[in-house]
Amino acid sequence: MPRITYIQPDGTEQCVEVADGVSVMHAALASGVSGILAECGGAASCATCHVYVDAAFSERVGPCGEDEDAMLDCTASARTSLSRLSCQIEMSDELDGLIVHLPEAQA
């Protein structure tokens, strides 16, 4: 099963294993990773599941969709070129070892 490492703003790391097809957002909620609110439940309409994908994985994760791109303009913490909505990143073996950084704030 692919693994994801979540890194909090204070540097605390949490590594979780997830099944293929599970979103980075759902994996965080299921594993008790703090810092992701996911108020809309994964519909790309709240921006409270904002993460910064580690630069080493940005190409592998691929570009964001149109709805996600628009929603990323509404994040509580500053948007960067590495910003993504974690509900829109589906895990797969190709993303094994993915590292995401949590923002300081989600709302």
Q: What is the Cα–Cα distance from 2 to 13, expressed in whole angstroms?
A: 16
Place of tokens 């904002």: 50
- The answer to whether 24 touches 48, Cβ cutoff 8 Å, is no
The distance of closest approach from Cβ of residue 88 to ligand FES in the complex, given in angstroms and rounded to an integer, is 7
Q: Give least dist CB 23 to ligand FES, A.
A: 8
Q: Hey, what's the torsion of the CAs at 68, 73, 77, 78, to 10 degrees?
A: 110
User: Residue 18 or residue 46: which is nearer to ligand FES going by CB?
Assistant: 46
Q: Which of 85, 99 has the CB closer to ligand FES?
A: 85
Q: Which is nearer to ligand FES, 5 or 29 (CB)?
A: 29
Q: Which residue's Cβ has the minimum distance to ligand FES?
A: 87
Residues making contact with ligand FES (CB under 6 A): 25, 38-40, 42-49, 71, 85, 87
Q: Collect all residues with Cβ–Cβ distance below 8 Å to 59 and sequence separation of at least 6.
A: none
